[in-house]
Copies of this chain bind each other. A is one copy, B any other.
Amino acid sequence: MIEIDPERLIGNLRKLSEFGRCGTGVHRTAFSDEDLAARNWLSDKLAAAGLGVEMDGFGNVIGRGASRSGPHVLVGSHTDTVPRGGWLDGALGVIYGLELAQAIADVGEPDLARVDVISFQDEEGTYFSCLGSRSFVGELSEADLDAARNAAGERLRDVLARRSMNAGQRLRLDPGQYSAYLEAHIEQGPLLEAEGVPIGIVTGIVGIRRFRVTVSGQADHAGTTPMRMRRDAGRALLTLANRLNACFETDANPNTVWNFGSISFKPGAPNVVPAEAELMVEFRDVDASVLDRFEARLHEVCTPRQGQMPVEVGVTTLANEPPTLMDESIAKAAEHAARSLAAASRRMPSGAGHDAMVIGRHVPTGMIFVPSIGGRSHDISESTHEADIVRGCRVLAATLSQLLN
């Protein structure tokens, strides 16, 4: 039985949140001074818990348990944040890992020292989304590195040079090294709080498909051009968007989500019939067959029959991320762990990307969620009640116990 220390856990989370503090949140973007200082602090804490610590040329930090008997379990997440982000996104999963290592050290049983703790670099994509975990599993190419730059256009290569960081020196996953990767995270959505369920057992990380729909018509004077003689890109797009939404409502599974996040008409004057119209469409599901169905509907709706609409419609794929399923036996272990602690749990997909999405392609992976207050995240208002934070760590500890046995 691994017994966590709630006070130490919360204390370490609070301590970490001091690096880049920003009101009630944290501004600790990847490769910033605050990010690297936090990674050094973490390294010291892991070493003090008896782990063998290494930081690689990207700032990925790993602490390795001392035991050499059999495969280890890797526990972690990331310590970088979005600009003006929250104190728990990423941090929670890493500090849970630290707490588990400290709790194991407290027990003093050498066979339990089969837990490694990791903080991946730049999960949030300040330069390149999931940079650290992609590098760890060998999915980061030199071309990716060449292309990586921040919103201000600064190249990651230049940042590494300025920081004297050596991108050639990398932590790498060895096949068979780990029996499992465990990542705990805040939900970043409103579901657990709304349902009063403290633990989410993640079934998978959704695949994302993102498209740009463009409609081309003709700009005309909106006073002098009779309705029947218009080639109105705007009204055509409004019709298509509503048809799409109706199809999606029919075809969706309970967990499917979709979004029309951006729309524009050009030239965009109130008295000019729109010549061009553009809509961003994305949808997410853990089930690739749902994504296929939605995509087929999109192409169907956006291919109006000859003569049905006096405009041209185009669809461009902007992103196509496949879903990553979580490991079923780990999910069962987490469910069992929650039950043993009298904590209600529910299965749910993760609608956002995580390092677990990358690691899960190579190592059996499990994720648990704790509730986000008001569903908020990626903002300084992000938080989770302390009782939920502690409960989540206990469930992770109980899950780990099963995996180590």
Q: Which residues of A contact B (CB under 8 A)?
A: 187-191, 194, 206, 208, 210, 220-227, 229, 232, 234-235, 238-239, 241-242, 245, 252, 255-265, 268-274, 280, 282, 284, 318, 350-353, 375, 377-378
CB pair A352 B235 closer than 8 Å = no
- Whether A282 contacts B257 in the complex (CB less than 8 A), given A263-B263, A351-B223, comes out as no
**Residues of chain B with a CB closer than 8 A to A259's CB:** 222, 232, 234, 270-273
Shortest beta-carbon distance, A272 to chain B, in Å?
6
**Residues of chain B with a CB closer than 8 A to A234's CB:** 259-261, 263
For this chain, the copies found in one complex come to 2
CB pair A224 B270 closer than 8 Å = no
Pick the residue among B270, B280, B282, B353 that contacts A280 (CB under 8 A). Answer: B270
CB-CB nearest in chain B for A189 = B224
- Whether A261 contacts B273 in the complex (CB less than 8 A), given A194-B229, A225-B351, A226-B255, comes out as yes
CB-CB nearest in chain B for A249 = B227
Pick the residue among B206, B238, B378 that contacts A260 (CB under 8 A). Answer: B238
**Residues of chain B with a CB closer than 8 A to A221's CB:** 188-189, 351-352, 375, 377-378
CA distance A242 to B252 in the complex (A): 22
- Whether A270 contacts B263 in the complex (CB less than 8 A), given A223-B284, A375-B225, comes out as no
Q: What are 18 A-B interface contacts by the 8 Å CB criterion? A: A189-B223, A189-B224, A191-B226, A220-B375, A222-B351, A223-B257, A223-B352, A224-B351, A224-B352, A224-B377, A225-B257, A232-B259, A234-B260, A235-B260, A238-B241, A238-B242, A239-B242, A239-B245
